[in-house]
Structure 1
């Protein structure tokens, strides 16, 4: 059975939308109320380009929440339990954001553009509304808005060569999560060494949506000698690499988790003087001890088609966690996944099972990353 996605005014289009349609996008998903390409008709070729060559992705749906004003730094710090004191202008930080109960509600990359301007490059949730409400309730002198900013990712082993061909060899010296603001012709960009893959690459944050097709074509032209092709954030590569996906691994409405369960414990400054949302709850969670941990999963049997929602994991008839996402890795020749399980179940534990639509499958716990 096949389905079609209705393109209407209630879901926003990316500045690269027309270029992706022209270049053969086959499927879309919806992320942050915006269409995002799913694949371009040949997922295996797109996976191969990511691991062995270079791919370009429309990730404009990775929206920015801008904090601007005298209290921008104070708001940024109050939103996250990670201490931002050492963050420099031009530097990005991975920042867990929690609610007042200590549950994760987003895991953006924070980028410090100046002492009074920050971006939160967010996963799929309405963090803009959260940040605006917090700022208002605390009486902070800061403007919270979504700026005209649309990332385009260049990912894969040859991504550095493509980005250097496009912008110059200075990009080779850019450290991971650091960025620089530049002009490409008339196009204002923020260029960051970052991206949702373990293969390395860059994200070009276009700061004027009018140039969406122009930037897409410039990247395509610069990447042609290196075999660049269009693609999209790849779920199989992210499972192999153990990357975290807000929405799949956790979502506040359906399967809330804590930063301790996702392995973020070392990022949290719970003993420092700064206040932040959820501090008392996170301290209490630390004291009470962690009951679940993130783990890799290996499923036996024939290749799986994947899952549409979290699936409960059972051990000897008792529910002990859930599988967040599963898929067949052709490169590893096995079904793999990620999920949360009880902390007293070590890696290598057997006797677990998960119920798929076609029947139960035996599961073994594995270390992350798989690759």
Structure 2
């Protein structure tokens, strides 16, 4: 596969951390929500080993925030998601699949409730802002919808809690999973949540104002020197092992939350007001006919999965799904993959064949993610 340079443009924004990221030796970027997102420092495999053993600092400013604020904020949030938000209290973070009127996935953000009338929607890679503004305008809701200048910085890995306690104090250890606290840093209060796009444990710091970006980065690097802290980024291998889904890769608007294995986040009976509720009720009654599964793809390390690989019933031309993400896993000594598999073949242990760039490979559907 040939590599191409990324042409600079004002349409692709740098972040408050970009100078530090480049000083740390970033090797590759992608574009995510019209911003730069680092994708490699040493290599995917080297970064993977380091993430699983030490601690990394990730520039994830591309996780843009949609702020919804006003008297109808809670009503609008419930219109967006089939997850029942009535019991959500300030200080909580909810994983919230967001759907259109057909029940198709538009985004899978983390929603942060800052106050009874104020939320941040920390979005994956899609222009959800326009959908949110359209609903608010169409229903004449009393809300203000903005994209605040908030730049998330993730601290991920087994030593993340120790590093964060050195920078923010011992109280950071008291933050529970998918909750946040406001913690002081250089005269400002920052929203710090125990969350992140890895299964190694960690935190996300919602940075504002931008002037604190380099002091915060430098403090984490200085305090974590003996913990072998390094700059890092979301890791393809680790996220496939953990079956962390990537919107636009593993799921699109063509898929419902149930197909994406996110049914546990859907309260379609009680999430009254969700625009996709009626469609999802029908899906829930009938059940999905395809669903996301982890797979082990046999053989030598596979090439990148740039386009979906068809999955076939063994020895036939009958397609039973597709692989959407794949990578070689050093820890599991196999190619790990995520794919959408039809009901007839999604049971754990079922053998299928993936049409990879170098030919068909025997693949085994897994009962769960690859977690050690």
TM-score, scaled to structure 2: 0.96
Matches within 5 A, 1:1-371: 1-252=2-253, 256-272=254-270, 274-315=272-313, 316-345=316-345, 346-350=347-351, 352-371=352-371
* 1:92-150 Cα shifts (integer Å, max 9, x gaps): 11111111111111111111000110011110000111101011111100011101100
In 2, Cα distance between the equivalents of 1:214 and 1:266?
A: 40
In 2, Cα distance between the equivalents of 1:234 and 1:244?
A: 12
Q: Displacement, 1:198?
A: 0.5
In 1, Cα distance between the equivalents of 2:269 and 2:28?
A: 47
The 1:273/1:129 distance shift into structure 2, 3 A limit, reads closer
Q: Displacement, 1:169?
A: 0.6
The 1:275/1:356 distance shift into structure 2, 3 A limit, reads same
The 1:278/1:210 distance shift into structure 2, 3 A limit, reads same
In 2, Cα distance between the equivalents of 1:29 and 1:64?
A: 19
The 1:184/1:273 distance shift into structure 2, 3 A limit, reads closer
In 2, Cα distance between the equivalents of 1:328 and 1:38?
A: 16
Q: Displacement, 1:277?
A: 1.2
Contact 1:314–1:320 (CA under 8 A) maintained in structure 2: yes
Q: Displacement, 1:367?
A: 2.2
Contact 1:188–1:206 (CA under 8 A) maintained in structure 2: no
In 1, Cα distance between the equivalents of 2:317 and 2:363?
A: 13
In 2, Cα distance between the equivalents of 1:353 and 1:140?
A: 50
Contact 1:124–1:246 (CA under 8 A) maintained in structure 2: yes
Q: Displacement, 1:243?
A: 1.4
Contact 1:46–1:55 (CA under 8 A) maintained in structure 2: no
TM-score, scaled to structure 1: 0.96
Q: What is the CA RMSD across the aligned residues, in angstroms?
A: 1.3
Q: Displacement, 1:45?
A: 3.0
In 2, Cα distance between the equivalents of 1:187 and 1:124?
A: 29
SS in 2 for 1:219: helix
SS in 2 for 1:171: helix
SS in 2 for 1:248: coil
* 1:31-66 Cα shifts (integer Å, max 9, x gaps): 001011111124333212211111110000011110
In 2, Cα distance between the equivalents of 1:218 and 1:14?
A: 18
- Structure 1 unaligned residues grouped into runs of 5+: none
In 2, Cα distance between the equivalents of 1:188 and 1:207?
A: 9
SS in 2 for 1:249: coil
Give the total of aligned pairs. Answer: 367
In 2, Cα distance between the equivalents of 1:310 and 1:100?
A: 26
In 2, Cα distance between the equivalents of 1:7 and 1:261?
A: 37
In 1, Cα distance between the equivalents of 2:299 and 2:45?
A: 21
SS in 2 for 1:344: helix
Contact 2:84–2:271 (CA under 8 A) maintained in structure 1: no
In 2, Cα distance between the equivalents of 1:163 and 1:248?
A: 31
Contact 1:303–1:335 (CA under 8 A) maintained in structure 2: yes
In 1, Cα distance between the equivalents of 2:45 and 2:295?
A: 22
